[in-house]
Structure 1
Amino acid sequence: MSNERRMSTFSHIDDAQCRSFQTTAELVGRKWTAGILLAGVLGARRFIEYRARVEGISDRLLTQRLRELESEGLLNRHVVPSTPVQVTYEPTERAVGLMRALHPLVQWSVNDQAE
């Protein structure tokens, strides 16, 4: 792809869109965040399921990331008043859309590693 053609592909992106993208990239780029989102869209719901699917994450950091993702509107937290209390986390449509948008990046990284 020529440099001119490459530039025209991105010429419609304004400063506000760039800032929005930067915010999203920083959120997803935090350690463990992408793994947590992937675990959620693959079916994890309870804390222990997230911990099992995201190997190596500490309980403290998983709790922190789950709260961040909830505050960003990417996870819904549900508390079931039972004994003991059950807490589940479910990805929102926004999270599913984000993971769909990241899929080409995942494919790129897999293909890049294979070369």
Structure 2
Amino acid sequence: MATILKNNVTNNHLRVLENTTEVNDVLRTISTRWKMMILYDISQGVNQVNKIKAAFPTASDHMLTQRLRELEAEKFIEKQVVGDVVPVQVSYSLTTKSRALLQIIKQLQQWGLHWKD
């Protein structure tokens, strides 16, 4: 949350930083370890829990479960449960929100490639 600044000349330069708070919040949300890689893998069809776990062999089951729950709570993914089979099958799909985010990330990647030394 942004700090309220007094309206004076010495704080004017800080107003620019104050207005970027939303960008910083987004970056903080998506930069959590594994999140973007999980979203990317789901976009590539790796959408079942066992396949996601196989894609990240160094991540603990607890960590992946936590990240999937966070992504679901943040409305980046939707969970589908097929309960009429044993064992229960769980898969994930991207939301409109995450597809829009991945387009922006792809643009950032292209920008980075263009300006790479």
TM-score when normalising by structure 1: 0.75
Q: 1:27 aligns with which of 2, 26, 29?
A: 29
SS at match of 2:22: helix
**How many angstroms does 1:53 deviate by?**
2.8
Distance across 2 between alignment mates of 1:111 and 1:56? 32
Gaps of 5+ in 2: 1-14
Report how many residues are paired: 102
Alpha carbons of structure 1 residues 85 and 27: separation in structure 2 relative to 1, 3 Å: same
More displaced 10-residue stretch of structure 1: 50-59 or 62-71: 50-59
Mapped to 2, the partners of 1:16 and 1:29 lie a distance apart of 20
* Structure 2 residue aligned with 1:89: 92
The aligned runs of 1:68-87 (5 Å cut-off) are 68-81=70-83, 82-87=85-90
Ranges of 4+ aligned residues in structure 1 off by more than 6 Å: 13-16
Structure 1 letter corresponding to 2:40: L
> Which sections of structure 1, spanning at least 5 residues, go unmatched?
1-12
In structure 2, C-alpha distance between the alignment counterparts of 1:100 and 1:73, rounded to whole Å:
16
Distance 1:107 1:57, change over 3 A: farther
TM-score of the superposed pair, with normalisation by structure 2: 0.74
Give identity over the alignment, percent.
28
Higher helix content, 1 or 2: 1
CA distance in 2, matches of 1:61, 1:110: 31
Task: Map 1:1-115; keep pairs closer than 5 Å.
Answer: 18-81=20-83, 82-110=85-113, 115=117
Bigger radius of gyration: 2
Q: What is the root-mean-square deviation of aligned Cα atoms in Å?
A: 2.4
Conservation of the 8 A alpha-carbon contact between 1:39 and 1:54: no
State the alpha-carbon separation in 2 of the partners of residues 16 and 75 from structure 1. 30
SS of equivalent to 2:107: helix
C-alpha distance in structure 2 between counterparts of 1:29 and 1:98, whole Å: 13
